[in-house]
Amino acid sequence: SGSSSVVTLLDYGAGNVRSVRNAIRYLGFEIEDVRTPEDILNADRLIFPGVGAFASAMDVLTKTGMAEALCTYIKNDRPFLGICLGLQLLFESSDENGPVNGLGLIPGVVGRFNSSNGFRVPHIGWNALQVAKDSEILDDVGDHHVYFVHSYRAMPSDDNKEWVSSTCNYGDDFVASIRRGNVHAVQFHPEKSGDVGLSVLRRFLNPKSQGTKKSTQGKASKLAKRVIACLDVRANDKGDLVVTKGDQYDVREHTKENEVRNLGKPVELAGQYYKDGADEVSFLNITGFRDFPLGDLPMLQVLRHTSENVFVPLTVGGGIRDFTDANGRYYSSLEVASEYFRSGADKISIGSDAVYAAEEYIKTKVKTGKSSLEQISKVYGNQAVVVSIDPRRVYVKDPNDVQFKTIRVTKPGPNGEEYAWYQCTVNGGREGRPIGAYELAKVVEELGAGEILLNCIDCDGQGKGFDIDLIKLISDAVSIPVIASSGAGAVEHFSEVFMKTNASAALAAGIFHRKEVPIQSVKEHLLKEGIELNQTME
């Protein structure tokens, strides 16, 4: 060390810190990894992005002697930045699988958010800070939002007042950042908070490069609604990976050649949507159900390249399940997911395999812990696991005609039917299953899903608006965030879904790809309608 462009990173190997690495490199700094406790003591500045569960992190830190070195380093007021769990570990203890003791540098206990008062847990998304005292690294944040994803939080108290530099409100006020001297930590993810987040990292890495300070009014704020750009990706007949888009899941041109519709290159489009202000980007490997994704290295390449320049959350789905390849080598769904995470994904999304797991659970009422959903959420946390539902509307005359949850539809069916249920499908909508979207949503929440991506085959690519009946049904049925998807055709469709349902985010594909409605117009419209949003830095 010694050179001012070097930063020391404490990565104890429990999960994906690729995006933190990418952000540090993007800002022009080199990374030195901590290998021994001495490396901590010798660091010029240290970044500690905590990942995984509190107890296992403490376990590793204690066994390796890093815990003691960290305490010494921090007590000596050396430049430190903890991120997420890297903030929580500084406190006395956590209730996560606990109580478990932390490093004990800051008075207070880390507890779980209370979802009973209508706040969805995990707390996922963009929220605003209330600054409690000067923190320097937050000087560019102003009234902008930053990205959080967590189920546990530390609470401010009289005992830790001298540490807390900002709070955030989500049901109650929790600690969003701490600062004492050269020691900083943030509960949010600066590496996922776009330009504002990069400014936080920049100020920590380069304290002398002070710009002008933005005033922070500390205005009260709610969790922002998210606008997500989705890229359906698959190989075309020439074998190139392209962004495609279907009409009701049919992605082929209706020409003689019947080719796969090609709307652009995945890495380029993702980069463009980030610049345009997308709050998240999702990739769906839509032929993952039949092509093994680890054989599909281009998708991993897409993630690696995208995550070098896109500093908002990335989700990837398609093909997450157990698999045996042609040589008889067995891959668990957890291995597939791990490879996606290592390549830069923040969340993975499971479609078909979650339907099978839910059917099994309804039948047996036994949680085996063996489904991809359960395994991945146990290891990476439920905030990292999205379940993608691909339902198709089925009209019925009488709700008693089916065993599934029906709703009274706003618009009657073709034969005047006043009711419908939403049948789950697998394999990209090709096969209907004996389970409804409502039943599936409730069960996957129980099995460990942290979020639901709610598509609708009937509305997909039609541009006529979201299926409000469906989205209301599901977003009222679960207490995890629901992403509304399928059917956006105009800016008004976004305000409609946020005003009429409890969706936490709205996702669109076609209108962004075809450049009919840019993301910025969607956001301007939503702001005009008074909907809380994350505004990108000017």
Q: How many residues comprise the chain?
A: 538
Among candidate residues 220, 185, 142, 170, the one with its CA nearest the CA of residue 10: 185
Could you tell me where the beta strands, DSSP code E, fall in 415-504? 419-426, 431-436, 451-454, 482-485
439 touches 456 (CB < 8 A):
no
3-state DSSP assignment of residue 107: strand
Looking at the Cβ atoms of 129 and 300, the one nearer to ligand 1PR is 300
Looking at the Cβ atoms of 80 and 249, the one nearer to ligand 1PR is 249
- Taking the CA atoms of residue 504, residue 508, residue 512 and residue 516 in that order, the dihedral angle to the nearest 10 degrees is -100
Looking at the Cβ atoms of 129 and 228, the one nearer to ligand 1PR is 228
Q: Which two tokens stand for residue 512?
A: 């962004």
Q: Which amino acid is at 24?
A: I
Which residues in this chain contact ligand 1PR in the complex, by CB under 6 A?
230, 232, 245-246, 249, 251, 284, 286, 288-289, 317-320, 349-353, 388, 390, 428-429, 455, 460-461, 485-488, 508-510
Strand partners, 126: 147
- The string of DSSP codes covering 235-260 is E-TTS-EEEE--BTTB-B-SSSS-PB
Which helix (H) or strand (E) is 373 found in, with range? helix 372-380
Q: Which of 191, 346, 458, 496 is catalytic?
A: 191
Residue 63's contacts (CB-CB under 8 Å, 6 or more residues apart) are none
- The string of DSSP codes covering 285-311 is ETTTTTS-TTT-HHHHHHHHHHHHH--
198 touches 211 (CB < 8 A):
no
Residue 195 burial by CB count (10 A; 0-12/13-18/19+): exposed, middle or buried? Answer: middle
Least separation in angstroms between CB 249 and ligand 1PR? 4
Least separation in angstroms between CB 516 and ligand 1PR? 10
Looking at the Cβ atoms of 19 and 485, the one nearer to ligand 1PR is 485
Least separation in angstroms between CB 100 and ligand 1PR? 34
443 touches 409 (CB < 8 A):
no
Looking at the Cβ atoms of 78 and 245, the one nearer to ligand 1PR is 245
3-state DSSP assignment of residue 397: coil
Could you confirm whether 173 is annotated as catalytic?
Answer: no
CB atoms within 10 A of CB 465: 17
Could you confirm whether 189 is annotated as catalytic?
Answer: yes
Could you confirm whether 232 is annotated as catalytic?
Answer: yes
Looking at the Cβ atoms of 10 and 243, the one nearer to ligand 1PR is 243
Least separation in angstroms between CB 251 and ligand 1PR? 5
Q: Which of 390, 445, 451, 469 is catalytic?
A: 390
Q: Which of 232, 346, 439, 496 is catalytic?
A: 232
Looking at the Cβ atoms of 383 and 486, the one nearer to ligand 1PR is 486
Least separation in angstroms between CB 148 and ligand 1PR? 24
Could you confirm whether 144 is annotated as catalytic?
Answer: no
288 touches 258 (CB < 8 A):
no
Q: Which of 11, 39, 84, 184 is catalytic?
A: 84
Least separation in angstroms between CB 339 and ligand 1PR? 15
State in Å, rounded, how far the first CA of the chain is from the last one: 35
Least separation in angstroms between CB 264 and ligand 1PR? 14
The residues assigned a catalytic role are 84, 189, 191, 232, 390
